[in-house]
Amino acid sequence: MIGIDVVDVERFRATLERSPGLPGRLFTDDERAYCLAGADPVVHMAGTLAAKEAVIKALSLGNLAAWARRVEVTRGASGAPSVKVTGRRETVGISITHDGGYAAAVAFRDISGEPVREASEEPTREGRGGNGKLDRFLDRPSPFARVLYPGSDFP
């Protein structure tokens, strides 16, 4: 699964001016310290917020209010961001960008380290329902099918 999100920096700045307590509800202490060290903290906060929302989508977690501080974005020595999600074992990769008044982020769930499901645990084609388009897609040799259904015997 992947997730994506974009934040309008000036709109977010206006929201923060109206709700000065918001950073404390959205960001952990370490996240705030990182953002506040930047030349324009709101830009980094917007990127961090976009990353949280992208992760929430990639893992289908639910709403931002419940997960904001449980999805923690950190940066390594190179500046590359990574994420830790309290109470979840999935490995999630993220990327953040900001330019032209917007901050955006993508997140993906890395399934390469997860155990491959047995074929008997795979959902059946009948169970997937639909109009046969998915069946036709799966019947074609496709790298996407291997990614979507790891462990299946696609060529």
Q: What are the phi and psi torsion angles at 118 (to 5°)? A: -65, 155
CA–CA gap between residue 69 and residue 63 (Å, rounded): 12
The closest alpha carbon to 145, from 130, 132, 134, belongs to 134
Which 3-state string (H, E, C) describes 9-78?
Answer: HHHHHHHHHHCCCHHHHHCCHHHHHHHHCCCCHHHHHHHHHHHHHHHHHHCCCCCHHHHCCCEEEEECCC
- Pick from 2, 80, 111, 147 the residue near ligand COA by CB under 6 A: 80
47 binds ligand COA (CB under 6 A): yes
100 binds ligand COA (CB under 6 A): no
Q: Tell me how far, at minimum, the Cβ of 54 lies from ligand COA, in Å.
A: 12
Q: Tell me how far, at minimum, the Cβ of 26 lies from ligand COA, in Å.
A: 14
Q: Which residue is nearest to ligand COA (CB)?
A: 79
Q: Tell me how far, at minimum, the Cβ of 81 lies from ligand COA, in Å.
A: 4
- Pick from 20, 79, 87, 127 the residue near ligand COA by CB under 6 A: 79
44 binds ligand COA (CB under 6 A): yes
Which residues are near ligand COA by CB under 6 A?
Answer: 44, 47, 75, 77-81, 96-99
